[in-house]
Amino acid sequence: MNILLVEDEPKVADFIRKGLQEQLHPVELAYDGLFGEKLALENEYDLVILDVILPGISGLELCRRIRRFKPDLPILLLTALGSTKDKVAGLESGADDYLVKPFHFDELLARVKALGRRRLLTSPGVQYRIADLEVDGYKKTVRRAGKEIILTAKEFSLLELLIVNKNRVLSRTHIAETVWGINYDRGTNLIDVYINYLRSKIDKGFTPTLIHTVIGMGYVLKEE
Amino acid sequence: MNILLVEDEPKVADFIRKGLQEQLHPVELAYDGLFGEKLALENEYDLVILDVILPGISGLELCRRIRRFKPDLPILLLTALGSTKDKVAGLESGADDYLVKPFHFDELLARVKALGRRRLLTSPGVQYRIADLEVDGYKKTVRRAGKEIILTAKEFSLLELLIVNKNRVLSRTHIAETVWGINYDRGTNLIDVYINYLRSKIDKGFTPTLIHTVIGMGYVLKEE
DNA sequence: ATCTTCCACCAATAGTATGTTCATGTCGAG
DNA sequence: CTCGACATGAACATACTATTGGTGGAAGAT
């Protein structure tokens, strides 16, 4: 899930960004409201996390502006203030959810997941299986025919995307945006390379093969 | 917190499972009493949620059976019956708490949290083991291959977290929050250093090694 | 008070796996 | 046969992690 984080305190920003990246979400960061607005409007994020206290324009104002042009984009507000009045103000600005700092990171993750599910319908982070391949998004493990397979973070992220959308052809563009982030735009065959890595780890030596190329369109994970 | 849910109505089961997973609890599901009993006795859960009305054996009977072998395992009963008599019957069967359907999910969550906390606080005698490593959460002792190993407080706390979540990849963020408390400071490699301390004490010179790095994601304690 | 010891923590450096690119090889369609 | 599209292997760069030495402070001993 592509996430835009607007937070001016470097330490907090870093903490949140790293935590989300450890869950394999691509994260982009804006240090002030104006830049945040620019990014939010120019790109297609799945979620925006906004600090209320920002230099430039306030989080609430930014929230309203984003909401005006992107009514469906989920917005999560962060703030140090915890009064009911603040919460109401936040929600009235169009935020979908509200989290008071300091928070336990798991709490943030839970809300991120909840907001993400609203538009994706599928939520990575649970268990998936196809044929004799099992992917556990919680433990971050992969097994084929009962045997554990070790993947790197990027490989896992790619496989998770494929298995969540099994039987559906995924374009390279879509894969790039989901796994590598919004602003991925290199003229290389990086995705092909990673598909190749995955194949050698989860398909080589097993039947049936699960990763299929659809020429001109992209890749699918399916049986047969 | 690992949760076992025994519930035969698929809709209700799904509702509860999804809600709990959103809070990042791993949930396993049994659709009848016998299978529930098998799972409960064979695995290490932190909490069992039981429907009273079940095919096979009843929830009350199941509760008694589990209680016989796992006196410390928290059990939460769910039922459509709301009379005092029913509640008493449930609690007398050894359940720790009782919730009448239909309920608001927040209510369930609150109880789940409460039972979880109780277990963490009053968890004397919790012993964990993986391969030839034994950790006694009560005596605060650690042994590998029968030989006692002396750890400092922080080291023990870290090891305890790892072994409670064995086979699951733990992110640095999660580790930082659990062992060191909420802190935004990821500017140092303190966690890496403590992992290194632990490795030198419990892995060095032994096979198999138990602490594994998952680059980009965190660390796991597991065999293999 | 002072000394000693141990623990928690930090920072710099060395080390390694991963991420990325590029050149080349293969395959099928037309 | 030729082209486009994809697969593959290897080389390179980067990012992440391991390791070690050192600092400071707290607790206990003298």
Instruction: Give pLDDT tens digits for B175-185.
Output: 998 888 767 67
pLDDT-based confidence at residue B81 (cuts at 50, 70, 90): low
Before B124, cis peptide (omega within 30)?
no
Looking at residues B29-58, what average pLDDT do you find?
A: 85
| pLDDT tens readout for residues B121-177 | 434 447 888 999 999 887 889 999 999 999 998 999 899 889 988 898 999 998 998
Q: What pTM, to 2 d.p., does this model score? A: 0.72
Q: Which residues of B touch A159 (CB under 8 A)?
A: none
Please give, rounded to a whole number of angstroms, the shortest distance from the CA of B12 to a CA of chain A: 18
Q: On chain C, which bases lie within 7 A of the protein's CB atoms?
A: 6-12, 17-23
Q: Which residues of A touch B21 (CB under 8 A)?
A: 125-126
Q: Please give the pLDDT value at position B88.
A: 62
Q: List CB contacts of B68: < 8 A, sequence separation 6 or more.
A: none
**Contact check, Cβ <8 Å, B167/A22:** no
Looking at residues B58-64, what average pLDDT do you find?
A: 86
| pLDDT tens readout for residues B28-39 | 888 888 888 888
Strand-pair partners of A214: A218
Q: Where are the domains of chain A?
A: 3-121, 127-221
Q: Which residues of B touch A110 (CB under 8 A)?
A: 22-24
Q: Please give the pLDDT value at position A72.
A: 86
Give the residue, A167 or B55, on which the prediction is more confident: A167
Option in A11, A18, A125 nearest B173 (CB): A18
The answer to whether A100 and A72 have CB atoms below 8 angstroms apart is no
Q: Please give the pLDDT value at position A114.
A: 64
Test mutation, B184, B215, B220, B224, chain A, max A CBs within 10 A: B184
Question: Is the pLDDT reported for residue B26 higher than 70?
Answer: yes
- The Cα A176–Cα A190 span in angstroms is 9
**Contact check, Cβ <8 Å, A153/B24:** no
The string of DSSP letters for chain A reads: --EEEE---HHHHHHHHHHHHHTT--EEEESSHHHHHHHHHHS--SEEEEESS-SSS-HHHHHHHHHHH-TTS-EEEEES---HHHHHHHHHTT-SEEEESS--HHHHHHHHHHHHHHHHS--SSSEEEETTEEEETTTTEEEETTEEE---HHHHHHHHHHHHTTTS-EEHHHHIIIII-TT---SS-HHHHHHHHHIIIIITT-SS--EEEETTTEEEE---
DSSP-derived pairing of the beta strands B47-51 and B27-30: unpaired
Closest CA to B130 of B145, B118, B140, B113: B145
Give the residue, B69 or A208, on which the prediction is more confident: A208
SS (H, E, C) A87-137: HHHHHHCCCCEEEECCCCHHHHHHHHHHHHHHHHCCCCCCEEEECCEEEEC
Could you tell me the fold of the domain covering A127-221? Answer: Arc Repressor Mutant, subunit A (1.10.10)
Give the nucleotide at minimum CA-to-C1' distance from B181.
C8
Give the residue, A191 or B100, on which the prediction is more confident: A191
Q: Which residues of B touch A180 (CB under 8 A)?
A: none
Nearest chain A residue to B218 by CA distance is A22
**Contact check, Cβ <8 Å, A105/B217:** no
**Contact check, Cβ <8 Å, A138/B26:** yes
Whole-number mean pLDDT of chain B?
83
Please give, rounded to a whole number of angstroms, the shortest distance from the CA of B89 to a CA of chain A: 35
Q: Which residues of chain A have a pLDDT value below 70? A: 82-85, 87, 110, 114, 117-125
Give the nucleotide at minimum CA-to-C1' distance from B216.
D16
The answer to whether A141 and B26 have CB atoms below 8 angstroms apart is no
**Closest CA to C16 C1' — which residue?**
B215
Q: Please give the pLDDT value at position B123.
A: 44
Q: Please give the pLDDT value at position A80.
A: 81
**Contact check, Cβ <8 Å, B217/A18:** no
Among all chains, which residue has been given the structure tokens 């919680």? A138
Helical (H) or strand (E) element with B224: none
Architecture of the structural domain at A3-121: 3-Layer(aba) Sandwich (3.40)
**Contact check, Cβ <8 Å, B215/A140:** no
DSSP-derived pairing of the beta strands B47-51 and B75-79: parallel
The answer to whether A194 and A154 have CB atoms below 8 angstroms apart is yes
Which residues of B lie inside 8 Å of A (Cβ-Cβ)? 21-24, 26, 167-169, 171-174, 177, 182, 184-187, 214-218, 224
Q: Is the CB of A217 under 7 A from strand D?
A: yes
Residues 16-55 of A with CB under 7 A from strand D: 21
Q: Please give the pLDDT value at position B109.
A: 81
Looking at residues B201-217, what average pLDDT do you find?
A: 94
Question: Is the pLDDT reported for residue B118 higher than 50?
Answer: yes
**Contact check, Cβ <8 Å, B185/A11:** yes
Question: Is the pLDDT reported for residue B82 higher than 60?
Answer: no
* B3-121 against B127-221: fold identical: no
DSSP-derived pairing of the beta strands B141-144 and B133-136: antiparallel
- The Cα A179–Cα A101 span in angstroms is 29
